């Protein structure tokens, strides 16, 4: 655990007692703070009380009497579409609002670091799509190279649950826009921006607010080195803003599909080959086509970002290449769950928006596509470039019929439930095809989360194949 520093003897309130909130409460108590907790869920409150925490409804009159600081869990809105009543009450009471990421960065360093040969480093990864895979891949490369590494944040453990890093240790954090938006301290050594596509727009008041939340990691954190995906205008803008000159090697540009050139430091993938260039000259190359755990151009972008990060941490290309080949991928993200009779079954349940789903559709040439769920704003028009790869769609969810109407020119069967969709897809699939779950929709109409949906897909595949 990372004890939270700077609040000894002060009263800190924690709003939201999920994984990150309860972790923050424990870290605050370990650091000497007096902690008050609140969650609207009675069962969650009871669990915190069982650990000895005091509970107080912060939104009630006098809820912030004597409180010095408020820590808010990432799932709780603090501005758009409307501030949580407890957050608004904190503003009125003049109580500063922070989150566990801010506490982590202000508390990570310790006096023991003065005795280390190599001070620990923090790598922070953000973006719309691919940040989980990129973070896990960086962690995997470091581990395979024999470097101490811990994975936390929006993936793995809560940031304050990790062990204090040792000599030369690396902490890899996946950070969502909910986390970067509110943190009062953001000071990673290396920061990674994967890409940007519309998502969580209601929470950030539109696309500009969403990008601004991501940009805070770079503008306010002042990392020593930035790895920036430049396949969207926002990434190109960000890279340009961070550069002091064309040859500024503190910014490593990353692309999937575009050959980058110039006097700086670039990593890009084209036609399945990763290239690293410096000062306009290629210094390393890796054939990604045989890397089984990273199929498709979107995963090649993840590979480029992870490779660039590992190179910035002084790892040699051959070590990185070997680690790429041993990476098995993450559950629910282009995860191969079975391969029978020449048919591959891929679980990409995390593809909850149109952009992520388009990249999944473009990763395979002949697809039996399981899709649908709780549709998001913006429609399905952005999938058009990937639809030629679809042999047939099998649509699930309460809005299955409406979803199917949004797929012009696609042979679409309304199945409603996962078992029916997988049964039909597996029965009709032929050698060389892929049965792909890439929903292009949220899961909440039928499942608690995308993980539960992906797990159900895998179970239905095993049942259909009698495995």
Whether residues 257 and 156 fall in one domain: yes
pLDDT in tens, 261-277: 889 999 999 999 999 99
CATH of the domain at 250: 3.40.1190.10
This prediction's pTM: 0.86
Please check whether residue 4 lies inside any domain of the structure.
no
Verify that 139 and 216 share a domain, yes or no: yes
End residue of a domain, out of 280, 307, 326 = 326
398 and 318 within one domain: no
Instruction: Give the number of other CB atoms < 10 A from CB of residue 205.
Output: 14
Sorting pLDDT into bands at 50, 70 and 90, what band is 292? confident
> pLDDT at residue 112 above 80?
no
pLDDT band at 345 (very low <50, low <70, confident <90, very high): very high
Q: Is 126 annotated as a binding residue?
A: no
Point out the domain boundary residue: 98, 124, 139. 98
- Indicate whether 155 pLDDT > 90: no
131 is in an annotated binding site: yes
Is position 133 annotated in a ligand binding site?
Answer: yes
In a domain, 136, yes or no: yes
230 assigned to some structural domain: yes
In a domain, 3, yes or no: no
Work out how many domains the chain is built from and give that number.
3
**Beta carbons of 41 and 62 less than 8 angstroms apart:** no
Q: 360 and 250 in one domain?
A: no
Q: 310 and 339, same structural domain?
A: no
Provide the residue range defining the domain that includes 18.
11-98
> Is 129 annotated in some ligand binding site?
yes
CATH at 390: 3.90.190.20
Q: Is 132 annotated as a binding residue?
A: yes
Evaluate the CA torsion angle 87, 90, 94, 100 in order and state its sign: negative
**349 is known to lie in a ligand binding site:** no
Which of these, 355, 347, 407, 402, lies nearest to 199 by C-alpha position?
355
pLDDT for position 109: 83
1 located within any domain: no
Model confidence pLDDT, tens digit, residues 134-154 = 999 999 999 999 999 999 998
Instruction: Give per-residue pLDDT as tens, 19-44.
Output: 899 999 999 999 999 999 999 999 99
Query: Residue 242: inside a domain, yes or no?
Result: yes
320 and 368, same domain (yes or no):
no
Check whether residue 241 and residue 298 sit in a common domain. yes
128 is in an annotated binding site: yes
| Burial profile 10-48: b = 16 or more Cβ within 10 angstroms, e = fewer | bbbbbbbbeebbbbbbbbbbebebbbbbbbeeeebbeeb
> For residues 364-401, b (16+ Cβ closer than 10 Å) or e, as one string?
beebbbbbbbbbbeeebebbeebbebbbbbbbbbebbe
Q: Does residue 148 contact residue 316 with C-beta atoms inside 8 Å?
A: no
157 in any annotated domain:
yes
Q: Which of 57, 82, 98 is the last residue of a domain?
A: 98
DSSP states of 171-232: EEEE--HHHHHH-S----SEEEE----S-SHHHHTSHHHHHHHHHHHHHTT--SEEEEE-SS
Quickly state the pLDDT bin for 328 (edges 50, 70, 90). Answer: confident
Beta strand 343-347 with 335-340: parallel, antiparallel or unpaired? antiparallel
Q: Are residues 176 and 36 in the same domain?
A: no
Question: Is residue 6 assigned to a domain?
Answer: no
């Amino acid at each position: 655990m990372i004890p939270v520093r700077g609040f000894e003897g002060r009263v800190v309130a924690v709003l939201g007692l999920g994984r990150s909130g309860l972790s923050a409460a424990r870290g605050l108590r370990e650091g000497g703070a007096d902690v008050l907790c609140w969650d609207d869920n009675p069962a969650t409150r009871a669990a915190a009380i069982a650990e000895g925490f005091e509970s107080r409804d912060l939104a009630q009159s006098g809820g912030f009497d004597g409180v010095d600081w408020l820590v808010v869990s990432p799932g709780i809105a603090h501005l758009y579409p409307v501030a949580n009543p407890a957050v608004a009450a904190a503003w009125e009471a003049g109580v500063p609002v922070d989150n566990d990421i801010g506490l982590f960065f202000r508390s990570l360093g310790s006096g023991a670091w003065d005795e280390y040969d190599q001070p620990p480093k923090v790598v922070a990864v953000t973006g719309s799509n691919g940040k989980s895979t990129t973070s896990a891949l960086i962690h995997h490369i470091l581990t395979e190279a024999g470097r101490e590494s811990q994975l936390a944040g929006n993936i793995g453990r809560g940031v304050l649950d990790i062990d204090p890093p040792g000599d030369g240790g690396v902490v890899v954090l996946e950070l969502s826009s909910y986390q970067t938006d509110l943190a009062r301290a953001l000071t990673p050594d290396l920061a990674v921006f994967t890409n940007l596509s519309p998502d969580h727009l209601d929470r950030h008041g539109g696309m500009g607010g969403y990008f601004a939340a991501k940009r805070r990691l770079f503008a306010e954190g002042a990392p020593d080195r930035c790895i920036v995906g430049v396949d969207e205008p926002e990434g190109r803008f960000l890279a340009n803003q961070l550069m002091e000159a064309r040859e500024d090697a503190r910014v490593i540009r990353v692309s999937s599909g575009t050959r980058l050139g110039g006097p700086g430091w670039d990593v890009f993938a084209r036609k399945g080959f990763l290239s690293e260039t410096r000062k306009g000259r290629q210094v390393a190359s890796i054939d990604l086509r045989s890397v089984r755990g990273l199929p498709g151009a979107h995963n090649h972008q993840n590979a480029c970002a992870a490779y660039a990060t590992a190179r910035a941490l002084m790892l040699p290309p051959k070590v990185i290449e070997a680690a790429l080949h041993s990476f098995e991928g993450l559950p629910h993200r282009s995860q191969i769950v079975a391969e029978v009779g020449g048919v591959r079954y891929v679980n990409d349940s995390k593809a909850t928006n149109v952009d992520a789903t388009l990249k999944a559709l473009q990763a395979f040439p002949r697809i039996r596509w399981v899709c649908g769920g709780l549709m998001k704003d913006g429609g399905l028009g952005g999938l058009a470039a990937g639809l030629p790869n679809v042999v047939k769609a099998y649509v699930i969810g309460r809005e299955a019929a409406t979803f199917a109407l949004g797929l012009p020119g696609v042979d679409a069967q309304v199945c409603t439930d996962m078992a029916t969709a997988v049964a039909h897809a597996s029965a009709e699939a032929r050698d060389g095809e892929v049965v792909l779950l890439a929903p292009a929709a949220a899961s909440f109409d039928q499942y608690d989360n995308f993980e539960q949906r992906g797990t159900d897909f895998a179970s239905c595949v095993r049942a259909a194949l009698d495995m």
